[in-house]
Amino acid sequence: MNRDNPVFWIIFVRTIQASLCAIALHVLTGWSFTGPYALGLFLTPVLCLYFVFVFVAPWSWGLPILNRLATVEKIVALSFDDGPSETTFAILDCLNEQKNRATFFVLGEAVERYPELIRRMNAEGHTVGIHAWRHAAFVGLGSRRIAEEVNRTQEAIRRACPEAPPARWLRPPHGFKSLRALWFAKAQGLRVAAWSCDSRDYRDTDPESIAQRVTHTVRSGAIILLHDGPCSSATVEALPLILRSLQKQDFTCVPLERVF
């Protein structure tokens, strides 16, 4: 955990509060601090940390989840979730104009609607990764359902662009971690990617604030989270601002396929 991240302190404080509540419950009820009654004292912070592990996307906790590039060079990776959609056309135009490459984590059902965009991504040197079929969070899903979400999307990509290599990257929806998803990814030879720089464009309609959120926090090796779903018009306007700022800071944008 990065202690400069305010989320770290939220988690730290909430875990302490939950533990103190468990202690207070033991005192008020007269439960023993040893034996089976003490189990709650152990489970409370453990459960807090487990939910943090699942739902705080950028942290890998030592698991095989890539959340930043292992480099000190001025390299960053742009990534786009939830497409392709109508906004993807403009995003690809902007990236191509400035000769930047990115990684697109696509939804299988969207691939079926816009197969020409998958062909264009491949032709222009972008990486196509798997997000899911319908953006269902993998947390709580069984192994069979996760396999269906991933394999249907992989097959949709193959049908849209047979000449493209099979997708090697997986980003679970919302970045929520599921041990079943990690096991499945390893068995299928997929690498799981999160991010280290969140534009929060999914809840912001101001292009300038989206761009500033990226350019003020970006570091060497950052994986930047953006979106190209159907409601991403603000991202389309923010992207030129982001690319110009990255260029001024001498950053080079690479797709994840170029990293390994």
Question: 228 Cβ partners below 8 Å, 6+ apart?
Answer: 80, 81, 82, 83, 84, 85, 87, 88, 91, 104, 235
Q: Which residue of the set 26, 81, 82, 131 is catalytic?
A: 81
Please, what is the angle between helix 233-248 and helix 86-97, to 10°? 20
Q: Which residue of the set 206, 227, 228, 250 is catalytic?
A: 227
Q: Which two tokens stand for residue 57?
A: 């996307």
Q: Catalytic: 131?
A: no
**64 vs 191: CA distance, rounded Å:** 8
Question: Computed from CA positions of residues 128, 2, 135, 186, in that sequence, does the dihedral angle turn out positive or negative?
Answer: positive
Q: Catalytic: 216?
A: no
Phi (first) and psi of residue 129, to 5 degrees: -115, 170
How many beta carbons lie within 10 A of that of residue 60, not counting itself?
16
Q: Strand runs (DSSP E) across 6-85, as ranges? A: 65-66, 75-83
Catalogue the active-site residues. Answer: 81, 227
